[in-house]
Amino acid sequence: METAAYVPAINLHGILPFISLLAGGMLCLAADAMSGKEGSRRILPVISFVALAAALVSFLLPGYPTGSFLENTFYSDSFSRLGCIVILVSAIATTLMGPRQVIRRNLPSGEYYTLIVFAALGMVLLALANEMLSAFVALEIMSLSLYVLTGIDRRSGKSAEASFKYFILGAFASAFFVFGSGFLFGSTRTTFLADAHNYFATRGGNMPEGAEMWAFIAFGLVFVGLCFKLSLAPFHMWAPDVYEGANTPTTLYIATGSKVAAFAFLIHFAHAFSSWQIFTAPVTFIVGLIAVASMTWGNIAAIVQSNLKRMLAYSSVAQTGYMMIAVMVLVALPSLQAAGNLNATTIANDTTLIYNAISLYLAGYTIISILAFGIAFHIGGEGSMAAYRGLFHRKPFAAVGMAIAMFSLSGLGFLPPTIGFIGKFYLFKEAVRFNMTGIAVIGILTSVIAAFYYLSLIVTMFMKAPDEENGIELAGRREERIAGLGGGDAIVRVMLATATALIFVLGLYPGLFTGLAAKAVTTKPMTTAMVKK
Amino acid sequence: MTSLLQPNLILATLLFTIGILGVMWKRNAIALFMSVELMLNAANLAFVSFAHELGIMSGGILVLFVMTVAAAEAGVGLAIFIALFRARRHIRVDEHDTLHG
Amino acid sequence: MVLFLYSILFVITVALAVGVLLNKDTVRSAMCLVGVMMCLAANYLLMQQEFVAFIQIVVYAGAIMVLFLFVIMLLNLREVEVLPWYLRNARFWGGVLALLFFFVVGFGINVFRSSHGIPGVVAKEQALAESGTPEVIILATQMMTTYIVPFLLTSVLLLVAVIGAIVMARRRDEDGNEIVLDPEEVDA
C-alpha cells in the first residue's frame, strides 16, 4: 500500500500552551532527579510556576487561533480561552501554596509539582477538546493526577481514603463517559464533535429512529459522566469527603480547575447537539432539573456542616448548579431562534453574551475560592470550624479576607460590587432575558438560603470570644514551628491580597476579564474547518 | 447474516448495569474496581458492534484507547489501594470510619 | 450457526458477569471477569475484529487482570470487607437506579437501519476497506492520521500513571520520608 507521508496540520501558537506545560512537567521531573531534597523544594516551584505562567501568557497573546486547530481535535472559542486562563490561574495559585504545603506535610516535592503541571495540561486539553477520544484521554490525565495529588499526603489516613473514594467514583464516571462516546459514535458515525454538529444540522430532522434514541442516550451518559466531575447534585457524594481529605491546595485545584475544564468541555459537547431541533426541549428540562437539585441540595446540606472544607464542598455543588443555568440557556437558544424570536445575527451576539456571563461567573468563583481556600490553608487545622471561632481577635486580616470571600460567594456584596455578585447578576439576567424566570427565581431563593451559612461563619469569626482551649489552631502552629516555615508564607499572603483586590476590581470593571478574549470573540460556526477537509 | 447489533447492545447494557450494581453493592476495594473494568468492557463492546454494523473498520481504535486508559487507571488505582491498605493496616476496620460517606 | 454460537456466548457472558457481581471471594470474582473478557474476545471474533480480539485477550485478560490478581494476593484481600464507610445506604437505591438505567437504555436500543451517508472521517478508510486492506493496517492508519492527537496524549497519560503509581505505592516512614533500602540489607 502506498501512502504519502502524513503531515498533520499544526498551528504552533495553538499548541504553545501544551508544549510549555509538557516541558514544565518534564523539567520538574528532571530537576527533581538531579537535585537533593532541599534543592528540589526550592527549584521546582519556580519551574512549575514559570511553565504555568508561560502557558497563561500564550493564551493571552493576541493571535491565539480561534476555531478548530490541530487536526480538528481542539476548538478554541472565547469561552474555552477564558476557561483556560481561569484554569491556569487556579493552577498557579495551587503552585504558590505548594512550598508551604510540602514542608508542612513533608510531601515528595518532585511528584507534587509535576502532577500539578500535568493536571493543568489535562485540564487545558479538556477545556479545548472537540473530539471524544482526546477529551477522554485529557480527562484521564487530569483525573489521574488529581487522584494522586489527593492521596499524596501519606501521613494522613483521611487523605488515602479520600483518594480512594475519588478514584473509584472518578473511574465510574469515566466509564459513563466512554459508554456515551460509543453511543455518539453509533448514532453519528464519528467521534469528532464538529462532524457530529454537521450531522445533526444536516440530518437531524430525518434520522433513523434508532439513531435518534442513541444520540439521546449518548448525551445522557456523557452528561452523567461530566456531572460526576462537576459534582452536580445527585452525583456529588464524593465531593465533601474528597474536599475534606485532600490537602487544601489540592482541594482548591479540584474545586476550581477540574470543574472549569469539565464545564468547558460540556459546553463544546452540548454545542455539537445544539443544531438538532428535537434535542433542545427535553435536554433543557433535564439540565434545569439538575441545576435546581444542585442549588437546593447543595445549599441546604451546607448549613449543617461542621467543617469548613465540607461546607465549601456543598457550597461548590450549589455554585455549579448556578453555572448549569447558563448551559440551559445555551441549549435552548437554537429553539428560540427557530421559533422566530431571534434572528441569526443576534444569536451570535447572544451566544457571546452568555459565554461572557459564564466565564465571568467561573472567574469569580475561582478567585473567591482561591481566597477562601487560601485563608483556610493559611490558618491550618484542616478546615475544622473550631479554628475559626473568634478568628478576628487573633488574625484580623485573615478574618476580614474570609468575610470578603463569604460575602462575595453568597452574591450579597453589591456595595461595592464584588465579582461574585456581578457574576450571579449577569447569569440571572441572561436567564430572565430568555424567559427562564422560574429558574432564576429558584436561584435567587437558594442564594438567600446560602447567605445563612456564609453569614453564620462570619458571625463565628467576629463575635465569639477566642477559645484558647481548643488545640486545633495551636496544633497547626506547632507543626509549622517544628517544620521551620520559610518564605512560603509571604508568597501566600501576596496571593491572598491579589485575590482580594481582584474580587473588587473585577467586580467594578468586569469588562477587564471578558476583554481578554475580546479579540477572539468570533462565534464562527464550528463547521468552517470541516469544509477545508 | 443477521445483524448482531441489537443483541450486542443489549449485552453491553446488561454488562454495564451489572458493573453499576457492583460499584453500588460491593464492599471490597478491588471488587469495586473490577466492576468498573466490567463497565469499560461493556463500552468497548458497544463501540465495536457499532463500528461493525456501520462498516467502519477502525472501530477498534476506541478499544485501544480504552485499554490504555484502563491499564493506566489500574496502575494508579492499585497503587492507591496499597496506600490505603498500608494506612489502615493496624486499625480494625469498623473503627476506621474517619470519613462519613 | 453463528446465531447459535452467539446465543451460547451471550448466556455465558451474562452468567460470568453475574458471577463477578455475586462472588464473595475476590479471586473468584476476578476469574469470572477474565471469563467475561474472553467471551467478549470471542464476540469480537464473530464480528471479524481479529486484532481487537487478540488485544482484548493479551492486554485485558493477560496484563490488567494479572495485575489485579497480584494485588489481591499481595494484600491478601480475598474476603476482607474493607469499606464499611463507602456509599452507605446505597444498596437499595443503587439497585433501583441501575435497573432504571437498564430499562431506559434498553428501551432506546432499536433496530438500526444504516441507510444514511458517510461523513468525512470515514470516507478515507472506506476506500481502504474496499481494497481488501487488512484490519490492522486500517487501524494503524487511522491511529497515525485521524486519531494522532489522542494517540500522542496517551503518552502523557502513561507518564502521569507511572509517576502516580510510584508516588502512591512507595513506602514511607511515619514522618513521610522515603524509605531507601540499604543494598546490603537486601542481600542479607
- pLDDT over threshold 60, residue C123: no
pLDDT of residue A413: 65
Lowest mean pLDDT, pick from A91-105, A122-136, A184-198, A388-402: A388-402
Give yes or no for a cis peptide into A416 (omega within 30° of 0): yes
A35, A180, A249, C142, C143 from B48: Cα distances, Å = 48, 13, 41, 15, 16
**Separation CA A52–CA A17 (nearest Å):** 8
Check CB contact under 8 Å for B47 and A160.
no
Neighbours of chain A (3+ CB pairs under 8 A): B, C
- pLDDT over threshold 80, residue A223: yes
For an interface test with B, the pick among C83, C124, C149, C173 (most B C-beta atoms closer than 10 Å) comes out as C83
Lowest mean pLDDT, pick from A22-31, A268-277, A516-525: A516-525
Ranges A78-82, A332-336, B70-74, most confident: B70-74
- pLDDT over threshold 50, residue B36: yes
Ranges A282-296, B24-38, C74-88, most confident: A282-296
- pLDDT over threshold 80, residue A533: no
Check CB contact under 8 Å for B57 and C125.
yes
- pLDDT over threshold 80, residue A89: yes
Q: How many domains does chain A have?
A: 1
C141 to chain A, any CB pair closer than 8 A? The answer is yes
Check CB contact under 8 Å for A106 and C177.
yes
- If one compares C99 and A94, the residue with the highest pLDDT of the two is A94
> How confident is the model over B52-81, as a mean pLDDT?
87
A131 to chain C, any CB pair closer than 8 A? The answer is yes
Which residue in A114, A97, A107, A112 sits closest to A154, CA to CA? A107
Nearest to C95 among B16, B24, B51 (CB): B24
**Separation CA A429–CA A408 (nearest Å):** 18
pLDDT digits (tens, 9 = 90+) for A169-185: 999 999 999 999 999 99
Lowest mean pLDDT, pick from A445-459, B53-67, C144-158: B53-67
Residue A5: inside a domain: no
Chain C nearest-CA residue for B42: C40
Nearest to B34 among C68, C86, C164 (CB): C68
Q: Is the dihedral of CA A368, A370, A373, A375 positive or negative?
A: negative
pLDDT of residue A435: 80
Q: Which residues of C touch A125 (CB under 8 A)?
A: 153
Q: Which residues contact C188 (CB under 8 A, 6 or more apart)?
A: none
pLDDT of residue C127: 60
- pLDDT over threshold 60, residue A478: no
Which residues 164-183 of C have a C-beta within 8 angstroms of B? 164-169, 171
Residue A447 identity (one-letter amino acid): S
Interface predicted TM-score (ipTM):
0.90
pLDDT of residue B92: 37
**Separation CA A20–CA A272 (nearest Å):** 29
Nearest chain B Cα distance for residue C143, angstroms? 7
- pLDDT over threshold 50, residue A485: no
Enumerate the β-bridge partners of residue A307: A384
Q: Which residues of B touch C128 (CB under 8 A)?
A: 57
Residue A6: inside a domain: no
Chain B nearest-CA residue for C18: B18
Nearest chain C Cα distance for residue A206, angstroms? 10
pLDDT of residue C31: 93
Letter string b/e over residues C95-109, b meaning 16 or more CB atoms within 10 A of that residue's CB? eebbeebbeebeebb
Enumerate the β-bridge partners of residue A129: A74
- pLDDT over threshold 70, residue B47: yes
Domain B5-90: top CATH class? mainly alpha
Lowest mean pLDDT, pick from A385-389, B93-97, C87-91: B93-97
pLDDT of residue A112: 94
Residue A205: inside a domain: yes
First to last CA, chain C: 62
Nearest chain C Cα distance for residue A356, angstroms? 29
Which residue in A337, A267, A320 sits closest to A75, CA to CA? A267
B25 to chain A, any CB pair closer than 8 A? The answer is no
Please tell me whether residue A69 adopts helix, strand or coil conformation: strand
Chain A nearest-CA residue for C145: A6
Place of cell 478499544: B63
pLDDT of residue A1: 47
Nearest chain B Cα distance for residue A497, angstroms? 33
**Separation CA A330–CA A337 (nearest Å):** 11
Residue A350: inside a domain: yes
What rounded mean pLDDT belongs to chain A?
Answer: 85
**Separation CA A227–CA A129 (nearest Å):** 17
**Separation CA A146–CA A154 (nearest Å):** 15
What percentage of chain A reaches a pLDDT higher than 70?
89
Owning domain of residue A303: 15-532
Enumerate the β-bridge partners of residue A121: none
- If one compares A177 and A281, the residue with the highest pLDDT of the two is A177
Place of cell 470474582: C29
Please tell me whether residue A129 adopts helix, strand or coil conformation: strand
Residue A1: inside a domain: no
Domains annotated on chain C, with CATH = 1-79 (1.20.120.1200)
Lowest mean pLDDT, pick from A148-162, A384-398, A439-453, C174-188: C174-188
pLDDT of residue B91: 41
> How confident is the model over C10-36, as a mean pLDDT?
93
Q: Which residues contact A22 (CB under 8 A, 6 or more apart)?
A: A121, C156
User: Do A138 and A125 contact (CB within 8 A), yes or no?
Assistant: yes
B40 to chain A, any CB pair closer than 8 A? The answer is yes
A244 to chain C, any CB pair closer than 8 A? The answer is no
> How confident is the model over A469-484, as a mean pLDDT?
50
- pLDDT over threshold 90, residue A161: no
Q: Which residues contact C31 (CB under 8 A, 6 or more apart)?
A: none
Letter string b/e over residues A164-176, b meaning 16 or more CB atoms within 10 A of that residue's CB? bbbbbbbbbbbbb
DSSP A381: G
- If one compares A526 and C110, the residue with the highest pLDDT of the two is C110
Residue A432: inside a domain: yes
**Separation CA A436–CA A219 (nearest Å):** 22
User: Do C23 and C29 contact (CB within 8 A), yes or no?
Assistant: yes
Residue A4: inside a domain: no
Which residues 6-35 of A have a C-beta within 8 angstroms of C? 6, 8, 22, 25, 29
pLDDT of residue C117: 42
pLDDT digits (tens, 9 = 90+) for C139-180: 888 888 889 899 999 999 999 999 999 999 887 766 667 676
- pLDDT over threshold 70, residue A362: yes
Lowest mean pLDDT, pick from A391-395, A484-488, A507-511: A484-488
Check CB contact under 8 Å for A181 and B47.
yes
Which residue in B22, A500, B48 sits closest to C18, CA to CA? B22
Chain C nearest-CA residue for B8: C10
**Separation CA C174–CA A433 (nearest Å):** 59
pLDDT of residue C32: 95
The maximal CA–CA distance of chain B, rounded, in angstroms, is 60
Backbone phi, then psi, for A414, in 5-degree steps?
A: -100, 0
For an interface test with C, the pick among A141, A181, A214 (most C C-beta atoms closer than 10 Å) comes out as A141
- pLDDT over threshold 80, residue A225: yes
pLDDT of residue A4: 66
Number of other CB atoms surrounding residue A246 within 10 Å: 28
Residue A9: inside a domain: no
- If one compares B70 and A333, the residue with the highest pLDDT of the two is B70
- pLDDT over threshold 60, residue A229: yes
> How confident is the model over A428-441, as a mean pLDDT?
87
Q: Return the ∠ at Cα A137 (arms to A513 and C95), rounded to 5°.
A: 100
pLDDT of residue C81: 57
Number of other CB atoms surrounding residue A187 within 10 Å: 26
- pLDDT over threshold 90, residue A269: yes
Which residue in A240, A238, A217 sits closest to A228, CA to CA? A238
User: Do A402 and A382 contact (CB within 8 A), yes or no?
Assistant: no
pLDDT digits (tens, 9 = 90+) for C58-106: 998 889 999 999 888 888 766 655 555 555 556 777 777 778 788 777 7
**Separation CA C136–CA C54 (nearest Å):** 11
